[in-house]
Amino acid sequence: MKKNISKKFQYSEIDDHQGPPGKRKIAAALNNLLEHKDFISITTAEISKASGVNESMIYRYFSDKRGLLHYILARYLKRMYTEIMDGLKHIEGSIEKLAQVIRHTLEIYDRNRVFAKILLIEVRNFPGYWESDSYRLVKQYAKLYTDIIEEGLAAGEIRTDIGKWHIMQTLLGTVEHMILPCIIFQKPINVDNCMNAVDKLVLKGLSVKI
């Protein structure tokens, strides 16, 4: 009954008890609005109305509208990172670890559609993103993969003829692309199905054949 409930997060929890109330309300409002609209077509007026906080407060708490978006994204990313690290504690074997990270990621995307939407869609066609703080966190997340891959290479579990960067890219790419239609068409993510495909297609191809 108590399994790993504590690990599951959703936006509401993230920010609830820190920062001034106005700031929290604004962030929560944008988060909610993102469920049904895309960032660019959400106006600051709308955010203000939805949050009940005056429009100009957005500029007190955040650099600007985009800063607010990145703030939300960063919170999600931090939370995801911790959660995934936690889930990794008792897993042995690099391939198994990769599988666990991917499964966990899929679950989090499924539970937090807004997060997935921001990360996969909203943030990309904004040039500044690739120099942003949020992107730094994304790279931290990606490093999780390369670290595990290195571990696997060292342990002789993973084949050495591909290059860890390409492996990571393939894994990330496969995951993201599997869920993109679900995010866009607002369908649930079937984590087991996805894992099956990832496992059979990519992970199996990774391991050193004995």
Partner DNA sequence: AATGAATGAGAATTCATTCAT
Partner DNA sequence: GATGAATGAATTCTCATTCAT
Give the binding site for DNA (CB under 7 A): 20-23, 41-45, 53-60, 64-66
Query: If binding is defined by CB under 8 A, does position 56 make contact with a copy of itself?
Result: no
Q: Three-class SS of residue 207?
A: strand
Q: What Cα–Cα distance (Å) separates residue 128 from each residue in 77, 145, 209?
A: 17, 25, 43
**Partner from a copy of itself, DNA, none binding residue 35, C-beta < 5-8 Å depending on class:** none
Candidates 85, 181, 187, 192; binder of a copy of itself (CB under 8 A) is: 181
Choose between 53 and 80: whose C-beta lies nearer to DNA.
53
Choose between 27 and 198: whose C-beta lies nearer to DNA.
27
Query: If binding is defined by CB under 8 A, does position 188 make contact with a copy of itself?
Result: no
Choose between 32 and 174: whose C-beta lies nearer to a copy of itself.
174
Query: If binding is defined by CB under 8 A, does position 174 make contact with a copy of itself?
Result: yes
Long-range contacts of 178-186 (CB under 8 A, 24+ apart): 179/106, 179/109, 179/110, 179/116, 179/120, 180/120, 182/110, 183/109, 183/113, 183/116, 183/117, 183/120, 183/121, 184/121, 186/113
